Structure 1
Amino acid sequence: MSDQEQDFTLPKSFNPNHYEISLKKLDAEKKIFQGHVRVHFQCVIPDQKIYLNARDLVIENVQVQLNNGQSLKVVSQDYDHRLEAIVIDVGENISDSFTVAIDYQGKIQTNMSGFYRSNYKDLKTNEDKFMLSTQFEATDARGTFPCVDEPARKATFKVSVTADSHLTVLSNMPEQSSQVEGNETEHIFHTTPRMSTYLVAWAVGEYEFIEGKTEKTIYPTLQDYSVVDGTSSTQAALPIRVYTAVGKKNQGKFALSVATKVVDLFSQLFKIPYPLPKLDLLCVESYSHNAMENFSLITFRTTALLVDDSDDVSPAALQKVAYVVSHEIAHQWFGNLVTMQWWDELWLNEGFATWVGYYAVSVFFPHWDVESMVMLESHEAALQLDSLKESHPVKVGLRDPKDVDQAFDTISYLKGCSVLEMVSGYLGQDDFLAGVALYLEINKWGNATMEDLFDCIGKVAKVEILSKVKPWLLELGYPILDVKKSGDQLSLTQSKANTDSLWWVPLLPTRDGEFIKQSDLTTRTTQLEAGSKYTLFNTDGYAFYRVNYESLELIDSLCDNISRLSSRSKMGLLSDFCSLRPLSDYLHLVDKTMKVHDPKDVYVWKSIHSSLLKTRTIVYNAVAPELMASFDRYVLQLVEPWINDALTNLENPTTQDSNDPYAFARTLFYHSILTIAGKLSHPKVVALARKLYQRNEINAHNRSIVLGTVLSQPDTTRAIFDQVVEVLEGAVLEEMETILRCLGSVTNPELFEPCFQLLFKVEPMNVQFLPEAFLTNPHIHSSILSFVQQNSSALIDRLVVNQTVIGRFLSFTFAYFQGEETVHKIKSIFEGRDISAYDRVLRQTLEKIEANTRFCNENIGALEKFLK
């Protein structure tokens, strides 16, 4: 155990092995409930003090009883603020098993954590309704019942919840029995198998459901179900339900179809059948995250579970649901069945669920080019964040319980995923997955570390992989491979990004079209034979590093052969140029790429689109308007060849051949083209967007293009802005997210203030979608900074109720700002505040602004020269 883990974990004298949790008198108006918990402890080391984590609970009565029936007197009961724990002293050493019974009063929260309330409108009656659900990860179980709230202190749980009889109550296990008491019903659930406290869950509400089942009939049933190993005397197909508020269940059909297939796939891959007798997917109306993997009762944000059950659904919405459902079901094995030992290895849960979630989507939706999507949305995002000094190692140091929540970030999820992708690409997917299956078999129902994982993978692959991969997990940053050419030889040197260490670098070279798989760099430098045409390193971007081609000859040879590279290799090359080379080199490569670009390589264009918009945003307020106009003309000239086809698709999306395997990719490509063209006021795009807006011909396929284009024009009126804001009131969540992203793209200064006021009107869980648009909207940068300065207390107090909400606001709003003065202004906003819940994301944002300032200083001259 690390020192920092020791600092705020509870003493190990007694081990909890079973909890009985009973909740009643749920008062959603007063936001309180009555709770009773019995914790069965086993003695490890005799002690007279019993520690239980508790936060925001009013302890009313405590009783301690030995297993022989003898009651012990509670001499004192204190609270340890550092440990967030009640300390029960019985005045004498306990050396036997015993139980602690506690009556207490708890709070029903409204901040999307702990046991909390979600308000929503009934679809049919428009009445105000509410539902109750739990979000205990990472350390919020202690806010709902006294417990030993640590991932390694696993136990079984017997839950009962008493609620109004017209309400449905769900928990991790199926209901065992119920008992009516007046207008209320007590719902008693079967005992769970061993699991961590953060995975305990229940929900109460007016729900309806749709049900499906797996094809395989290998899953446990309740007949002689064993809480020790998750087996039963009979096996059957697994029943899977999607629960929603009344009127929405049919929007869960797509998610249900994905879930039934994914459970079978993972049971086969991991060689362990899903180990509980049911699986519920619950749509929660208020949710700051996409989803939470509670064992057998997975909770989801609306847009991560539901899609319209008509044809009016966007490709992006389908992709999101398929991926999030796959990711959360993966956690049932990787995280729930086998749990990290401590939160510093959160990446073991999240990195793997990210990797295998994408794997599942690629199996079931091969036409989506998931590998390229992973490259853009996971690999590149992680490289960008991990280039910062304010990044952190994948195995992350933690200071206190509050700090755990900051570990749920790009590094834990996406760098973790990228490291696993690198190992899988190096060893081969079959050996990698067989090693994972061995790891799960050896550690099931327990806790494990990265050493356990890589020992198993290495054992199967017959390769010592742990020492190779350790620097990628224990240090921040990544190596940069510097490549120089001298005659027919290439000189390779690994240099640092935030590190001086020596790394194992899988070179993954392609020489003149031939891939050379097993080739490593384990020293500082080496020599390699050059190809006659070109040599590319890190083929398909499977390894987590960047390549800096230093010789002009190498750069030209790669530019000239860009058409011979895979989609992922193109993206890796473009991103490496964008990050390491002068801007003019990157734009030269963009020119070459676009001349041979195929619309089915949609993610190549999306990566270019993203980089160009970032460049435009960063330099916008640092250059003359004439230069900016030249840059916009340059970008529009790149997309011009596809504008007419894209506009035809926008107006008539049904004209595509349904048998065309690239129809999905082409739709995404056209969407990307029109997004950037609309933002830059392409006349044809603006004309069609305004026509569709005036005719009210807006649907899921065109909403973001039409509204985004119309709202981002400098002559858009307040009347149009207000019309769009009105639609927010009755919008479903997916529609609302899109509308907010469009509203945040306004460029008419008269609309800035009403736009910013939405930060106070929109539910906190939805605030992030405005800053997502602020990110690439340089017109509003100085105004939003002034607004935040003037309203800092009210705004920060509103957003800080949830750590995720405030973190996303900061990183999205300010990440593309530049200028030293900006850094000082943002720092001054937070002076004197307690920023411990989001200090890392604030430091990262400030470092990004400093990097943007250097980028402007170093590249504006080259940009002027290029555009001439």
Structure 2
Amino acid sequence: MKLFSLENPLIPINYDLKFIIDPSSNNFNGIAKITLKKNNNTTSFNKFKLHGKDLSINSAKLNDSIQLNCTNLPDQQQILFESVNDIVAQFEKENLILTIEYTGKIHDVKTPRDKTIGLFKSNFMKGNTGAIANNYIFATHCQPSFARLLFPCIDEPAIKTHFNLSIEAPTSYKIVSVSKQSNKESIDNNVSITTFEKTTLLPTSLFGFTLGDLEEIHIDLPMDNNNMLPIHIYSPLNVTQATYTLDIVQKYLPLIQNFFKFKFPSNKLDFVLLPFLNDMVMENFTMITVQMDFLLFNSSSLTNPAIRNQTTQLVVHELVHQWIGNYISFNSWEYLPFNESFATFLAYYLISKNDPDNNIWQSDNYLQTELATTLIQDSDLPNSKSIHDMYHSNQKQRSSNDLITTNDIFDPISYQKGIAMLRSLQLTIGEDLFSNAIAETFNDTESFHNVPIKPMDIFNKMGHSLKSENITNFVSSWTRLPGLPIVSVETSRNETSKILETTLTQHRFYSDENIDPDFKQETIEDVPYHIALLTQLPGKIKDTKNTLMTDRSLKLGYLITLLNSNAQGYYRVSYETQECYDELCKELTLGNIDDISLLKIFQDLSFFIGNKYFQKNVHINGLLQILNHIASSPKDVTLNTINLWKSICEGLSILQTIVQAAVVHNRRAIINKITKLVTKLSEKVPDWSIETLSQIDNIYELNTISKMIALTSTTTMTQTLCQDLFKHIRQGPNNSVPIELVSSIYMSISYQMTNIKDWKKLYELVKSSSGIASHIIDHSSTSDNEKFITLQNLAITNLGFVTTEELIKKLLNFIDTNIAAAGIENAFIGVNYNAQIIINKKDNLKIRDAVWKWFKLHFNVWKKNLANGTTGQEKLEKITFMVLQMFVESGKMIEKYENFEDIKPVWESLQHEDRANVTIISGLSK
């Protein structure tokens, strides 16, 4: 991308800015004295441009003598400055001073939807006096390119300059900026001029100021050599509720300084809380602006650990930015994801290291919500791109008039991938070496502060410091290659030494969901990645011999237990020999595999099983072997003692996927096998009493038990248990049954129904569940109404597991009568599951036969009644899909249906989605 600054004959090196702000006006007046130097080999010129939007230029002149004509170019968001005569630029030591007097716009912000860009103001009311809201706060927001709304400039991150600032405003206002206040001088009783110290070198995006009716709290933080750093928090309201932020700053600012081995890059730090801010948080240099709801908390709110943890992450992230992103800044907005990745990575690292109750690297939010989600998104073969290509390929064609925000140029996959890359690199290098190498960049002021940089400049410096080419090669691999790798692990015995050895092989991993049927695997780009192996050896020993894989394959002369320990790497691992699973089971017995590592093994298996390009028979067998191994452990070993709830919950989810494939393709033997396995595993839950179940607050333990109930719902043991639990659901007492168990309990109860009287017990809860809500334990903070709806939906979803002809007819009549009702299609889930069960032995009538007859009878009526609106059409498609899924192996019969053309798109979609089921069944058959 060609930079505007490279085309201009003059480049700013200093902005001397004065703003005159009148609270009663919708505009501000500005005076900008801009020091300019010549650009490259410029000799003479008579015109040049600066960025400017919504600015009305009153006068402009160079060196107080050359009057300039000004033309606004709104389509380019620029201002053209022209002189009648040529301007000679044959100056080496002498710079030009451009003086501009102008008027700009103050954006009035009254709701969260209003744009907080350039200079904006909000009015608010203090207290509950009923008075007019005549208190004001003015603030700026310049990122990514809104400085041009404040003053004429070159508004690009590739240029860093100094800023001198003065503001003329009401004397009563507190004024905060990106440098320390140096003076405040009264003009009259009501108006003063406040001046600020010259800033360090900054891009325009990090400039800013705030002023208005602000309260403040502050501390002086001791730093190196007993120097005190003043820390202020300003807010229009309730500023004392921000004291927790001061606690965080006191703890973590010295830790960040120690990590970088470079003092805090300013002589003050401010947080300014604003009523509205579209970006929620902005890391202006030493003046961090935050939407005030993020940092104002009463004492009761701070008892919530989630709020404390989120606040700590936010504050530490913004503190990190003062070093990386601000003092060291990047020369293009394409590096925004990396800038954010680094701040988040370092915040996560420091918090995890210094807060024993908040290990983010092993938290559900990081491993499940952030990392696991990104791995899924980055596996989409048609769409996944490299970090390098993502910015350019994802940019929409926008006119220069568009107000492009940071959200428009931010790519979440690149961001999360960057965090994982940095974490892997740190673990491979070692924490101290990583910190030392990063710290060396700050000693090179000329290269890393005076000019904006590329992220690779940091890694080149690190590689030079550590005398290793692997640093830059590693980072280049992860930024230049799309997607993510899969590493296959094979263990075999050396024929000569008889020692077990390990061979690793890597390829690019991808989901097969969106791949065209004609896709040929050999056409994929499959360049080897540089992979941080994070290997665990037998005995829970970290492998320090082979830490990095850079080629297609790597042979290790020894046995390993697992790769990607603690799930910190950005890749999937495929264990592909029986010996791998034997070793895993052995180490499980010894307690050498933790819940996170086993969870990652199962998560990876869940993406191999059903994927026709990566599933291997050993994957399903290995899954069953591990779960059988846990189920067969000594009697005194319970799931509580081994504490593997997260991983076992994931393993049972895979079994549910396998069971669903077996149901669709009528493989009852597979279902029976899994039922026996889970029954055996459920014996490791020592106490199934209502008293014990009601006391469980571990969500994974509850979900594991729920899956066990669902997978064994036809067994006598589970049905007896569920009869008792269902009684407590209906009759109480209060807080008897956790909501996580309700669906599987309903499923088992539905299986047991034999007459209308039984059916009505669950049917009543479909009509209304308000009467049982108090009996249900719900750890979430949902409203009563949301709880009622959730319980009703659970009743609908499980109403269809009935297996008698009378109840099937009753159910189908209920669905038809309520076909337009929200969620009614979910009643088909159980019907679909039991499709092959015979409900009339005399006529050899299966459930699916009764459903097909009923479907054909009503389809045309539904098509007419549900035709209007997207919701009705989607409902009909869902019902059609579940009905047709009962006949997935009976294609000829479906194609003979008289309305086949109407259902053909759904049938084709079903054939596509059934590929995973076919792959699973083929693996089980072999």
Instruction: State the AA in 2 paired with 1:61.
Output: N
1:675–1:709 Cα contact (<8 Å) kept: no
Q: 1:81 to 1:214 in 2, by over 3 A?
A: same
1:510 is the counterpart of 2:536: yes
1:641 and 1:251 map into 2 onto residues whose CA distance is 45
- Alignment partner of 1:279 out of 269, 274, 283: 269
Deviation, structure 1 residue 321:
0.5
Deviation, structure 1 residue 189:
2.7
Percent identity of the aligned residues?
21
- Alignment partner of 1:22 out of 18, 28, 35: 18
Aligned to 1:199: 206
Number of residues paired by the alignment?
A: 698
Q: 1:291 to 1:681 in 2, by over 3 A?
A: farther
Aligned to 1:455: 460
Q: 1:865 to 1:435 in 2, by over 3 A?
A: closer
Name which one, 1 or 2, has greater alpha-carbon Rg: 2
Deviation, structure 1 residue 276:
1.4
1:426–1:518 Cα contact (<8 Å) kept: no
2:175–2:212 Cα contact (<8 Å) kept: yes
Q: 1:705 to 1:414 in 2, by over 3 A?
A: farther
Aligned to 2:916: 858
Question: Counterpart of 1:336 in 2: which secondary structure?
Answer: coil
Q: 1:114 to 1:378 in 2, by over 3 A?
A: farther
1:173–1:192 Cα contact (<8 Å) kept: yes
Aligned to 1:385: 377
Aligned to 1:308: 298
1:255–1:325 Cα contact (<8 Å) kept: yes
Aligned to 1:830: none
Aligned to 1:341: 331
Question: Counterpart of 1:367 in 2: which secondary structure?
Answer: coil
1:459 and 1:326 map into 2 onto residues whose CA distance is 29
- Alignment partner of 2:507 out of 477, 488, 495: 495
Aligned to 1:244: 235
Aligned to 1:156: 162
Summarize deviations over 1:649-690 as a string: whole Å, max 9, x none. 87xxxxxxxxxxxxxxx7x8789999996366469999xx98
Deviation, structure 1 residue 432:
0.6
Question: Counterpart of 1:330 in 2: which secondary structure?
Answer: helix
Deviation, structure 1 residue 261:
1.6
Question: Counterpart of 1:35 in 2: which secondary structure?
Answer: strand
1:564 is the counterpart of 2:616: no
Question: Counterpart of 1:535 in 2: which secondary structure?
Answer: coil
Deviation, structure 1 residue 264:
0.8
1:578 is the counterpart of 2:575: no
**What stretches of structure 2 of length at least 5 have no aligned partner?**
90-94, 494-499, 510-523, 612-618, 632-637, 708-737, 747-764, 796-819, 825-865, 872-876, 882-907
Deviation, structure 1 residue 372:
0.7
Aligned to 2:35: 40
Of residues 391-400 and 357-366 in structure 1, the stretch that sits farther from structure 2 once superposed is: 391-400
Q: 1:852 to 1:446 in 2, by over 3 A?
A: farther
1:198 and 1:611 map into 2 onto residues whose CA distance is 47
Deviation, structure 1 residue 195:
0.8
Alignment of 1:426-465 (within 5 A): 426-442=428-444, 443-464=448-469, 465=471
Summarize deviations over 1:821-865 as a string: whole Å, max 9, x none. 9xxxxxxxxxxxxxxxxxxxxxxxxxxxx9999666414995999
Instruction: State the AA in 2 paired with 1:51.
Output: K
Aligned to 1:134: 140
1:623 and 1:197 map into 2 onto residues whose CA distance is 63
- Alignment partner of 2:549 out of 494, 516, 521: 521
2:480 and 2:264 map into 1 onto residues whose CA distance is 32
Alignment of 1:730-809 (within 5 A): none
Instruction: State the AA in 1 paired with 2:10.
Output: F
Of residues 150-159 and 506-515 in structure 1, the stretch that sits farther from structure 2 once superposed is: 506-515
Instruction: State the AA in 2 paired with 1:50.
Output: F
1:382 and 1:648 map into 2 onto residues whose CA distance is 34
1:394–1:474 Cα contact (<8 Å) kept: yes
Summarize deviations over 1:218-256 as a string: whole Å, max 9, x none. 5xxxxxxxxxxxxxxxx6221212223322x23322221
- Alignment partner of 2:66 out of 54, 67, 72: 72
2:30 and 2:221 map into 1 onto residues whose CA distance is 37
Aligned to 1:474: 480
2:3 and 2:686 map into 1 onto residues whose CA distance is 60
Deviation, structure 1 residue 639:
10
Question: Counterpart of 2:325 in 1: which secondary structure?
Answer: coil
Summarize deviations over 1:2-27 as a string: whole Å, max 9, x none. xx2x1655525322122133333455
Summarize deviations over 1:132-152 as a string: whole Å, max 9, x none. 333322222223332211112
- Alignment partner of 1:414 out of 416, 419, 432: 416
Summarize deviations over 1:326-383 as a string: whole Å, max 9, x none. 1110000011010112222224422211111112212331222222124445433432
2:602–2:647 Cα contact (<8 Å) kept: no
Aligned to 1:846: none
Q: 1:145 to 1:311 in 2, by over 3 A?
A: closer
1:615 and 1:397 map into 2 onto residues whose CA distance is 36
Give the number of the structure with larger relative contact order, counting CA–CA contacts within 8 Å between residues 6 or more apart: 1
Aligned to 2:734: none
2:283 and 2:646 map into 1 onto residues whose CA distance is 32
1:363 is the counterpart of 2:353: yes
Q: TM-score, normalised by structure 1?
A: 0.68
Q: For the aligned residues, what is the CA RMSD?
A: 5.1
1:319 is the counterpart of 2:309: yes
1:214–1:260 Cα contact (<8 Å) kept: yes
1:58 is the counterpart of 2:58: no
Aligned to 2:120: 116
- Alignment partner of 1:554 out of 574, 580, 590: 580
1:788 and 1:706 map into 2 onto residues whose CA distance is 30
Question: Counterpart of 1:299 in 2: which secondary structure?
Answer: strand
**What stretches of structure 1 of length at least 5 have no aligned partner?**
219-234, 651-665, 718-747, 753-784, 791-816, 822-849
Question: Counterpart of 1:564 in 2: which secondary structure?
Answer: coil
1:671 and 1:170 map into 2 onto residues whose CA distance is 51
Deviation, structure 1 residue 467:
2.1
Deviation, structure 1 residue 59:
2.0
2:241 and 2:909 map into 1 onto residues whose CA distance is 44
Question: Counterpart of 1:21 in 2: which secondary structure?
Answer: strand
- Alignment partner of 2:781 out of 692, 703, 716: 703
Instruction: State the AA in 2 paired with 1:383.
Output: L
Instruction: State the AA in 2 paired with 1:462.
Output: K
Deviation, structure 1 residue 53:
1.5
1:120 and 1:77 map into 2 onto residues whose CA distance is 38
Summarize deviations over 1:524-561 as a string: whole Å, max 9, x none. 22333463xx6312223343222122345535653664
1:712 is the counterpart of 2:790: yes
Q: 1:163 to 1:98 in 2, by over 3 A?
A: closer
Q: 1:467 to 1:309 in 2, by over 3 A?
A: same
Q: 1:863 to 1:193 in 2, by over 3 A?
A: farther
1:312 and 1:613 map into 2 onto residues whose CA distance is 40
Q: 1:851 to 1:360 in 2, by over 3 A?
A: farther
Question: Counterpart of 1:448 in 2: which secondary structure?
Answer: coil
1:255 is the counterpart of 2:245: yes
Q: 1:261 to 1:25 in 2, by over 3 A?
A: same
Instruction: State the AA in 1 paired with 2:154.
Output: V
2:55–2:104 Cα contact (<8 Å) kept: yes
Instruction: State the AA in 2 paired with 1:424.
Output: Q
Question: Counterpart of 1:159 in 2: which secondary structure?
Answer: strand
Instruction: State the AA in 1 paired with 2:9.
Output: S
Summarize deviations over 1:799-830 as a string: whole Å, max 9, x none. xxxxxxxxxxxxxxxxxx99999xxxxxxxxx
1:517 and 1:712 map into 2 onto residues whose CA distance is 50
2:649–2:703 Cα contact (<8 Å) kept: no
Q: TM-score, normalised by structure 2?
A: 0.64
1:506–1:518 Cα contact (<8 Å) kept: no
Q: 1:42 to 1:623 in 2, by over 3 A?
A: farther
2:188 and 2:867 map into 1 onto residues whose CA distance is 57
2:220 and 2:772 map into 1 onto residues whose CA distance is 42
